[in-house]
Structures are given as C-alpha cells and as structure tokens.
Amino acid sequence: MGKVIIIAGTPGTGKTTTAKLLSKKINAVHVDVSRYVIENKLYIDYDPRHLSYVIDEEKVIEKLIELVEKSDKIVIIDTHYPEILPPDTVEYVFVLRTNPLILEDRLRKKGWPWRKIRENVMAEILSIVVSNAINRFSEDKVFEIDTSNKTPEKVVEEITGVIKGYIKPSKQRIDWLSLLKPEDIMRYEISGEE
Ligand SMILES: Nc1ncnc2c1ncn2[C@@H]1O[C@H](COP(=O)(O)OP(=O)(O)OP(=O)(O)O)[C@@H](O)[C@H]1O
Ligand SMILES: [Mg+2]
C-alpha cells in the first residue's frame, strides 16, 4: 500500500502543476481527481451553474482507496476536496495558497467567467479548503504553502524537504482577510444581478 500525500488548494493555486513535478521528482503516482472523475465517469450529474461535475462520492472514495491499496509507490492526490479521503490513510496534506489578486489573474487565464472566478477567489479569501482539511485531518498533518511569489519548482522543493524530513514544515496559517484592503475583498462579493 502506498503512502498518500494530498496536494490541495482552491482552483488555480497550482495543484496540478506542483503534483506533476513532485511525482516525477520522487517517483510517485499522481492522481488529478477532477480528471480521474471524468475519465472514469465517476460523476452523477453536471452542474451548469458551477460549470462542474457533481461527483459520485462513494464511487470516488472506493476507487481511490483501491488505487492506493494496489500501489507500491507514494500516491499524490491532487484535489480541491481533500476531505473525501479517510484521515487514517493520509500522511500529509499540503494546501497551496495564492494571494487572491494573483489568483484572480491565474483564473482569468483559464478563461473562466467572472462569476466562477469570483466564487473561487472568495473561497480562497475565506480559507475554505484549509479549514475543511483541518476539520477532517489532524492539525499537524495540514501544511500551507504560499505559492504567490514562488515558482512551482520552489514549491516542490519545499514539499520534498518536508516529506524527506530535511525541512521543518512551516506552521504558518494564512489569512488573506487580514492582509487585503477591504476594497479588494469587496470586488469579489456577490453583486445584485447574479
Ligand atoms: N507557483 C506558481 N507560480 C506561478 N504560476 C503558477 C504556479 N503554479 C501554477 N501556476 C500557474 O497557475 C495556473 C493554474 O495552475 P494549475 O492548473 O496547476 O492549478 P490547479 O490548482 O490544478 O487548478 P484546478 O483546480 O483548476 O485544476 C497555470 O497557468 C499554472 O501555470
Ligand atoms: Mg488541476
């Protein structure tokens, strides 16, 4: 059975870029859960409002556990929904964080509509992914990495150091609400016409 390392974060924080590089570097298996769900038809519906699939949670959990049990390598699970995995199977949860203004830029480059950009930037401002991860996994398994001014290579270097034990992981908790100007936060609030 392979060890499980989760790379989590709001969309656009760099999970897939980081997980791909990391899996090459440490010879691990990379599972991009969004892609895996589509490729294996593990969804029950499509939600046109959120432009995303509604996943069949039971099937996704079953398939992921099966994959981890069969693997003799470390399995890197790349997802914005880390709490889907049972806590005892997971060794580390790295939550990638990105300054909301930079995240907006990255999401614009994905060509997403403003409504979807706004919702995801707001989720980042409110630390939704990290809060859910801390609730589900014990606090000492969850590490945040601010990717705003770091190359993907640097992010991978930090994660590798923690996994291999030569870097002491940062216990930093990131709170964009206290770092941003109120007018920047207000740009992402729901407007009347939505
Ligand atoms: N550390 C980084 N610094 C700057 N840009 C980055 C960094 N990591 C990723 N990016 C860029 O940000 C964009 C989003 O990255 P990526 O697709 O890996 O994010 P994601 O978290 O997997 O998103 P999604 O949840 O939508 O799959 C890409 O254009 C990527 O090149
Ligand atoms: Mg991705």
Fold annotation for 4-96+134-172: Rossmann fold (3.40.50)
In tens, the pLDDT along 114-148 reads 999 999 999 999 999 999 999 999 899 999 999 99
Q: Which of 159, 144, 167, 170 is nearest to 19 (CA)?
A: 159
Q: How far apart are the first and last CA of the chain?
A: 47
Q: Is 82 in the pocket of ligand 1 (CB under 6 A)?
A: no
In tens, the pLDDT along 56-72 reads 999 999 999 999 999 99
What are the domain boundaries of the chain? 4-96+134-172
25 is in an annotated binding site: no
Q: Tell which one of 17, 50, 156 to mutate to probe ligand 1, the residue whose CB is within 8 A of the most ligand atoms.
A: 17
Q: Is 11 in the pocket of ligand 1 (CB under 6 A)?
A: yes
pLDDT bucket at 17, cuts 50 / 70 / 90? very high
**In this structure, are strands 43-47 and 52-55 parallel, antiparallel, or unpaired?**
antiparallel
Q: Is 151 in the pocket of ligand 1 (CB under 6 A)?
A: yes
